[in-house]
Amino acid sequence: MPDRKRKRVAFDLDETLGVPVIDDVEITGFRFREGCVELLRRLRNDFDLILWSVSNRSYLDKNLAFGLSEFFRETYSWDEIATGWKDVRRIDADFLIDDSRHHFEEAAKHGIGDRYIVIAPYGSPEDFENPTLWIEQIEGILFER
């Protein structure tokens, strides 16, 4: 049972933490965005980390096999939670970190937008301009509260 004294932080997978390395049609690795592994190591000391993807379980498990699994206490895929938007209340998370504004916009309609941290997608122009801005955003919010 997770320790509820600790905040629960959910992360999206693709373009948030990095991207899969695909050779032809096979996933052969995972390319973490700059500073990702170090960030996850720091965060797991103070937070329970959750991975939440709208991809299917098979895809998620393939990516987890390339170094992601050590960081996450729980993982959720489309197979477990098929939903139009990631409502943090469904997994009892305090925050969701995602590169998609869609989930934040839906959450704002329900009065919980402050629990969503939207970052620039990995590989976007904003990411190229400042590859560690996403880390500053996340740590600024999580460690401020």
CATH class of the domain defined by 7-142: alpha beta
- pLDDT for the residue numbered 68: 95
| Statement: residue 14 has pLDDT above 60 | yes
Nearest to 46 by CA among 8, 81, 19: 8
Return the exposure string of 24-58: e unless at least 16 CB atoms fall within 10 Å of the residue's CB, then b: eeebebbebbeebbebbebbbeebbbbbbbbbeee
2 within 8 A of 44, measured Cβ to Cβ: no
Give residue-wise pLDDT tens across range 41-91.
999 999 999 999 999 999 999 999 999 999 999 999 999 999 999 999 999
Whether 1 has a pLDDT exceeding 50, the answer reads: no
